[in-house]
Amino acid sequence: MWVRPFVHDVTAVTERVFTSLGWVTAMNPFEVLGLPAVFALDLKAVEKRHRELSRTLHPDKFVGAGASERRHALGKAVEANEAFRVVRDPVARAEALLRLAGAAVGEGAEPTAAPEFLMEVMEWREALAEARATRDGAAVATLAREVGGRAQASEAILAAAFVGRAPDRAQLELARIQLAALRFYRRFLEEVAAIEEAWQDEAAP
């Protein structure tokens, strides 16, 4: 009766260790999940594929297997989980595609944002801070729509850059610029969601 929870605990701990050591960062997440290396993906299909792999590689299926086979299955399960984490997130997906194309990624490696964009960022942040302080839900919603629209536009540009063929230098540079912008948009929208959730919690009886 103790085998099942023990195996699950080992899987969780091993996954955290592998990820923290960077042992899964060099993988091709699209290849692991059997997906095309494109930005525009059907996330429902991606989730279905991950569930199928998870069932196939579940530790319970290898309880009676040899140590080598169990280690191999565990490694594959960790890879599948990390690949799913990367592919389902637009920022991480774009980073993976850029890495596969040989481009440098990371907040310190991406092009410096244009002054006009930095001014917009400052104005959005000031507007959000004021809306939060005055509890102006309509203003928060308006900002969310505006920034959400910009995020969708960045994702459309990334989708056009990564359509299954190698992007050229100009496309890679544009993709890096849009990735940097998308980072901000996603963080801003997460902050909006946190504000709205906090207000809902405060209003709950």
| Tens of pLDDT, residues 37-72 | 999 999 999 999 999 988 887 776 776 667 788 788
Is pLDDT at 195 greater than 80 in this prediction? yes
Is pLDDT at 134 greater than 70 in this prediction? yes
Is pLDDT at 12 greater than 60 in this prediction? no
Q: Based on the fold, state whether residues 77 and 13 are members of the same structural domain.
A: yes
Domain presence at residue 105: no
Residues whose CB is less than 8 angstroms from the CB of residue 96 and which lie 6 or more positions away in sequence, other chains included:
28, 29, 30, 86, 87
Is pLDDT at 106 greater than 90 in this prediction? no
Domain presence at residue 99: no
Q: Based on the fold, state whether residues 150 and 194 are members of the same structural domain.
A: yes
Torsion, CA 194, CA 112, CA 115, CA 89, rounded to 10: -30
Is pLDDT at 182 greater than 60 in this prediction? yes
Domain presence at residue 10: yes
Number of domains forming the structure of the chain: 2
Is pLDDT at 175 greater than 60 in this prediction? yes
What residue numbers bound the domain in which 176 lies? Answer: 115-203
